[in-house]
């Protein structure tokens, strides 16, 4: 009995020591928390309302967590989509810049090739197509029908008489000179009505359409002077060939650079006359000329007779010892057929030049 009690005391003592060691060195806090948690669970289980609120709060937090995760995923996908859009835009801009540069390069090479192409006129028919050469022929349709042409068309030029000659000349040149060249002469016959507004306007309109390479004609000298000044600023210069415009003021090759007058000018007439008179030692000359503008009305242009005498007097005054220009001529209108006036003016000029008649 004594032994049994001693053994019991020893076992109890060992268990007590073991519990002290476990509590202080190994599992004290875990056991404490476990006890506390068990106590709380027992306490909470005794209050079902609070337990239900806790469950709802946990459920709401779980839903918020799921929504937050979903929003995060959407934002990530949106960012990826925006990155793709930005990448596509960068590629698009790069491609546009590339194509623009390529187009500029093509245009540059095309211009260079076109210039070489235009310079080399004599080529085979397979190299390029026929190139048109546009010619404007601006003249009145009929010289005698338009009332404006009475004083504006001193040489009676009109399309009715000129057109057949020009068409035949173009056909002859096309076959004989341009037969082996791919150039086609294209004429434009336009009725100017002897107007200094309508005539130049035809040339301006054709130039705007890039259908003007040469001008042959004009019957009114004012129209010719206007276009001769403008043609120096068009392209590399538009050549003008005309049978009129013989006045000395059109001799200025700086202002009328591309004008060619096929019959010379009145300046040559004045120069030749001046030399003849100087050789014959004629120092006093007076002129009687036909000029309706100075006799009848200022609404009509100066006649060719006035331009000839004007050029002649200019040469005489500047190159010989003649009387002054304002005393060297008198005017009549020969269409009036007044012989009395003619005799009086001739007597006056004769007295002034040679003494008594």
pLDDT of residue 135: 94
pLDDT of residue 41: 46
pLDDT of residue 251: 84
pLDDT digits (tens, 9 = 90+) for 5-16: 666 777 767 776
Q: Which residue has the higher pLDDT, 330 or 43?
A: 330
pLDDT of residue 175: 87
- Of 53-57, 212-216, 241-245, 265-269, the range with the lowest mean pLDDT is 53-57
Percent of the chain residues past pLDDT 90, beyond the cut:
16
pLDDT of residue 116: 60
pLDDT of residue 5: 62
pLDDT of residue 10: 72
The predicted model gives 302-311 an average pLDDT of 83
pLDDT of residue 285: 81
Q: Which residue has the higher pLDDT, 108 or 3?
A: 108
Q: How confident is the model at residue 96 (pLDDT cuts 50, 70, 90)?
A: low
Q: Over the chain, what HEC string results?
A: CHHHHHHHHHHHHHHHHHHHHHHHHCCHHHHHHHHHHHHHHHHHHCCHHHHHHHHHHHHHHHHHHHHHHHHHHHHHHHHHHHHHHHHHHHHHHHHHHHHHHHHHHHHHHHHHHHHHHHHCCCCCCCCCCCEEEEEEEEECCCCCCCCCHHHHCCCCCCHHHHHHHHHHHHHHHHHHCCCCCCEEEEEEEEECCCCCCHHHHHHHHHHHCCCCCEEECCCCHHHHHHHHHHHHHCCCCCCEEECCCCCHHHCCCCCCCCEEECCCCHHHHHHHHHHHHHHCCCCCCCEEEECHHHHCCCCCCCCHHHHHHHHHHHHHHHHCCCCCHHHCEEEECHHHCCHHHHHHHHHHHHHHHHCCC
Q: How confident is the model at residue 80 (pLDDT cuts 50, 70, 90)?
A: low
pLDDT of residue 27: 46
Domains of the chain: 131-261 (3.40.50.2300), 266-354 (no CATH)
Average pLDDT, the chain: 75
- pTM of the full structure: 0.57
Q: Which residue has the higher pLDDT, 123 or 190?
A: 190
Q: Which residue has the higher pLDDT, 296 or 204?
A: 204
pLDDT exceeds cutoff 50 at 121: no
pLDDT of residue 283: 75
pLDDT digits (tens, 9 = 90+) for 143-197: 777 777 878 888 889 999 999 999 999 999 988 888 777 888 999 999 998 888 8
pLDDT exceeds cutoff 50 at 125: no
pLDDT exceeds cutoff 50 at 131: yes
pLDDT digits (tens, 9 = 90+) for 228-286: 999 999 888 999 999 888 887 888 888 899 999 988 788 888 888 888 888 888 777 88
């Amino acid at each position: 009995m004594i032994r049994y009690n001693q053994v019991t005391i020893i076992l109890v003592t060992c268990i007590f020591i073991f519990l002290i060691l476990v509590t202080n060195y190994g599992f004290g806090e875990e056991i404490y928390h476990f006890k506390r948690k068990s106590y709380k669970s027992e306490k909470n289980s005794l209050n079902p309302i609070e337990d239900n609120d806790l469950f709802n709060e946990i459920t709401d937090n779980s839903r918020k967590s799921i929504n937050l995760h979903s929003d995060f995923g959407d934002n990530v996908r949106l960012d990826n989509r925006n990155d793709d859009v930005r990448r596509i835009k960068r590629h698009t801009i790069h491609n546009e810049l590339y194509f623009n540069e390529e187009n500029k390069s093509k245009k540059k090479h095309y211009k260079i090739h076109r210039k070489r192409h235009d310079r080399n006129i004599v080529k085979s028919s397979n190299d390029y197509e026929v190139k048109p050469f546009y010619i404007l022929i601006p003249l009145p349709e009929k010289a005698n029908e338009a009332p404006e042409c009475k004083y504006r068309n001193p040489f009676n030029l009109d399309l009715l008489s000129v057109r057949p000659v020009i068409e035949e000349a173009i056909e002859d040149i096309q076959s004989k000179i341009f037969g082996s060249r791919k150039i086609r002469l294209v004429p434009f016959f336009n009725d100017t009505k002897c107007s200094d507004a309508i005539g130049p306007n035809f040339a301006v309109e054709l130039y705007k359409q890039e259908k003007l390479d040469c001008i042959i004609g004009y019957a009114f000298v004012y129209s010719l002077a206007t276009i001769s000044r403008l043609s120096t600023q068009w392209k590399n210069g538009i050549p003008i060939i005309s049978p009129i415009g013989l006045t000395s003021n059109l001799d200025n090759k700086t202002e009328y650079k591309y004008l060619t007058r096929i019959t010379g000018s009145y300046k040559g007439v004045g120069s030749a006359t001046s030399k003849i008179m100087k050789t014959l030692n004629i120092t006093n000359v007076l002129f009687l000329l036909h000029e309706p503008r100075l006799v009848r009305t200022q609404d009509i242009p100066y006649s060719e007779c006035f331009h000839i005498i004007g050029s002649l007097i200019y040469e005489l005054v500047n190159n010989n010892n003649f009387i002054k220009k304002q005393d060297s001529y008198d005017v009549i209108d020969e269409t009036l057929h007044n012989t009395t006036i003619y005799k009086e003016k001739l007597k006056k000029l004769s007295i002034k030049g040679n003494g008594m008649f």
